[in-house]
Structure 1
Amino acid sequence: MDTDDSGASTAPLRKIIHIDMDAFYASVEQRDDPALRGKPIAVGGSRERGVVAAASYEARPFGVRSAMPSVTARRLCPDLIFVRPRFDVYRAISEQIRAVFAEHTALIEPVAFDEAYLDVTQNLQGLPTATEVARAIRAAILERTSLVASAGVSYNKFLAKVASDFRKPDALFVITPEMGPRFVADLPIGRFHGVGPVTEARMKSLGIATGRDLRALSRETLTAQFGSSAQYYYGVARGIDERPVRANRIRKSIGAESTFSDDASDYAVLAERLEPILDKVWTACTSKDVRARSVTLKVKFADFEQITRARSVPGFVADRETLERVSLALLRDVFPLRRSVRLLGVSLSALQHGPAEAPQQLGLGL
């Protein structure tokens, strides 16, 4: 990255918007079914099994969150209503939303059905600021879909993402270049995009609780602790992120894994523990509108040795049932076991964006 002696970026100012639909799946279901409005609902899973793909804002005060096992969600909120996801509907609405984006810029980087980055440095409507562009986009989305979007406006992707989440729901928040370094300094480390629960715990164990703490560490120290991620952390701790908005960015893989509280060696037990992992993978696959040709199973044993097994399928993995069938077959392939298992993971690769073919299966202009 280009910086001056103080560490500040010397790159030309960009205008980036991050759009994030508020509780997208759940909001669609409440829009389409008046009986669900004002009630705590979870999209995905069931009362007995599976994983929550999305939770309505009415469910969140109870602690219900996406990627949570359904059984846990039901325990936290006994009145929680489970709704089967309708990914075809979400995809169609997502296309409406992306059409709104395209009226303002060609530089659109979709992240999922409900989320995207937009570079509006040169916007197609000639609006003078990115804030006005974001305001126009939110209004158009509401008018056309009756759904609410939050928007973050800043001079890079990291801060735009932080801004969109800062005052959700139904919010528009701007972080200017003057605000950026100070804003990041006070930001809890868990709210840094790219810092997940495991990394957050590790950083806190090292005394890193805020952006200010992260900024105090040298590149060398960060590299020793975090390897290839060090350059990213060094930059964002200073409000710097020069990653471009990439139109038509292609993901290489999607996956999820789980480390067990107790090791297991029985096939039936491991197959049961694989279920929520498969739910997470399939939900990510559908929300990001991708299909895969290859499934990989990761197995880590109690002695920390790790193996993988992979299988390609004709055409694409067309549904969750196919994903489950292939994953269980891969699990069977590692039997008989000589030691117990502490972690299972599943990933999809050889990805194609868009629905499978017939079954072959966004101060200073801000």
Structure 2
Amino acid sequence: MEEGIQYRKIIHIDMDAFYASVEQMDNPDLKGKPLAVGGSEVRGVVSAASYEARKFGVRSAMSGLQAKRNCPDLIFVKPRFDRYKEISRKIRKIFFEYTDLVEPLSLDEAYLDVTVNKKNNPSASLIAQEIRKRIFEEVGLTASAGISINKFVAKVASDYNKPNGQKTVNPKEVEAFLEKLDIKKFYGIGKVTAEKMYQLGVFTGYDLKQKPLEFLEKHFSNSGLYYYQICRGIHNSQVKPNRTIKSVGAERTFFENLSSEVFLEEKIISIANELEKRLQKSKIAGKTITLKLKYSDFTLQTRSKTLPYYISDKSLLIDVAKELLYQERLKDSVRLLGLSLHNLNNQESKKAEEPKQKSISIQLQFDFKGY
């Protein structure tokens, strides 16, 4: 990185196997055992897996049936989201004792900007260490942390010494750290994109760095600039305490596959009821309704319709969802049905995103003593 540049200090805190760890904490009989939250050995999808289960290849989003095949001794428990939210609130309360610049990504992870912090501590590494210690002592769970100059590098670093560890990447270490990293470890590069990069001879951050911007834009369109920047440690997105909700949804996985639209209509009604409750709680309405179908072979299909006005009432949600259901014939029997609302009215006051620029720059921030 450039000499004389003043960088931000960003911490990414990520709870270790959060849902599973909460279940093991609340039920000591589950400690040390392979555990899956959600799903079952017959139906459903795993929401989270304990580290004991991960040793057998059990992962989130895996079918319960496959998880049980991988780990015959796997224990399934039903998710308790109210309990997870309760624990998450306690953890965030700790975060806010250090900085008001906290950006939650989910119940179990968040970014913190501690460039200037309430403890007047110049060391982001020591702050992260203290936060992790307090989470363990006050909540009873372990967390991992990544510390660096921006959200991207901090996010990547938090996964480096999991579980119950932390990794600091100082400004001078950023490019060397990213150059050695397998491309699939880059946040924002999924399995499909990683495979495409492998085919193009890009296996590490160093390989990605050798590709000119024109090459990346040719093969990855609008994402090309993003890839060009992140392999150089450039990511100027600030920690945003009030993240705008972009969609609200609800879905159901069925005990038995459904092959008739008539049966799916009944499920749409119950899903719409749940979605309406979530919309009312958030005081949000939207224009774009999306119906999600997961078939018996696990292929996904979405069907969407955008209205000229905002809706949140379940009767309107049901009407549009049914219209989408009959838009075309089912490809196969359905194991999961979801309904979501996008293009929300909470985005009207949001400032328009700045146009993407091809000039590369590092945003200057505050002077400080180190990491």
TM-score, L = length of structure 2:
0.76
1:7-86 to structure 2, matched below 5 A, reads 8=2, 12-86=6-80
Q: Deviations over 1:58-114 (max 9, x none)?
A: 000100001111111111111111111111111011110001000000000000000
2:327 to 321, 334, 344: 334
1:245 to 235, 239, 244: 239
Contact 2:304-2:324 at 8 Å conserved across structures = no
1:1-366 to structure 2, matched below 5 A, reads 8=2, 12-253=6-247, 267=260, 293=285, 295-297=289-291, 308-309=304-305, 312-314=311-313, 329=322, 332-335=325-328, 337=329, 340=331, 347-349=340-342, 350=344, 365-366=370-371
Contact 1:310-1:330 at 8 Å conserved across structures = no
Contact 1:155-1:176 at 8 Å conserved across structures = yes
Closer/same/farther in 2, CA of residues 212 and 164 from structure 1, 3 Å limit = same
Q: Deviations over 1:234-274 (max 9, x none)?
A: 111111111111111113136899xxxxxxx9647x96xx9
> Once superposed, what is the RMSD of the aligned Cα atoms?
3.9
* Distance in 2 (alpha carbons) for counterparts of 1:76 and 1:193: 27
Closer/same/farther in 2, CA of residues 35 and 113 from structure 1, 3 Å limit = same
* Distance in 2 (alpha carbons) for counterparts of 1:104 and 1:158: 21
Closer/same/farther in 2, CA of residues 11 and 296 from structure 1, 3 Å limit = farther
Closer/same/farther in 2, CA of residues 10 and 347 from structure 1, 3 Å limit = farther
* Distance in 2 (alpha carbons) for counterparts of 1:328 and 1:75: 35
* Distance in 2 (alpha carbons) for counterparts of 1:11 and 1:227: 30
* Distance in 2 (alpha carbons) for counterparts of 1:306 and 1:126: 49
* Distance in 1 (alpha carbons) for counterparts of 2:247 and 2:200: 31
* Distance in 2 (alpha carbons) for counterparts of 1:159 and 1:110: 17
* Distance in 1 (alpha carbons) for counterparts of 2:221 and 2:249: 21
Closer/same/farther in 2, CA of residues 51 and 348 from structure 1, 3 Å limit = farther
Q: Which runs of 5+ in 1 are unaligned?
A: 1-6, 258-264, 318-322, 353-362
* Distance in 1 (alpha carbons) for counterparts of 2:89 and 2:164: 20
Which secondary structure does the structure 2 equivalent of 1:179 belong to? helix
Any runs of at least 4 consecutive aligned residues in structure 1 with deviations exceeding 6 A, and if so which?
A: 254-257, 289-292, 325-328
In structure 2, give the amino acid aligned to 1:183: F
Closer/same/farther in 2, CA of residues 315 and 256 from structure 1, 3 Å limit = closer
Q: CA deviation at 1:314?
A: 2.0
Q: Deviations over 1:286-318 (max 9, x none)?
A: xxx979755412689xxxx9853469542799x
Which secondary structure does the structure 2 equivalent of 1:117 belong to? strand
Q: Which runs of 5+ in 2 are unaligned?
A: 252-257, 295-300, 347-367
Q: CA deviation at 1:198?
A: 1.2
Q: CA deviation at 1:32?
A: 0.3
Contact 1:251-1:351 at 8 Å conserved across structures = no
Closer/same/farther in 2, CA of residues 104 and 189 from structure 1, 3 Å limit = same
Closer/same/farther in 2, CA of residues 266 and 37 from structure 1, 3 Å limit = closer
Q: CA deviation at 1:168?
A: 0.1
* Distance in 1 (alpha carbons) for counterparts of 2:284 and 2:53: 32
Which secondary structure does the structure 2 equivalent of 1:19 belong to? strand
Q: How many residues align?
A: 322
In structure 2, give the amino acid aligned to 1:154: S
In structure 2, give the amino acid aligned to 1:14: R
Which secondary structure does the structure 2 equivalent of 1:46 belong to? coil
Residue 359 of structure 1 corresponds to none
Closer/same/farther in 2, CA of residues 316 and 117 from structure 1, 3 Å limit = farther
Residue identity (%): 47
Which secondary structure does the structure 1 equivalent of 2:147 belong to? strand
Contact 1:18-1:152 at 8 Å conserved across structures = yes
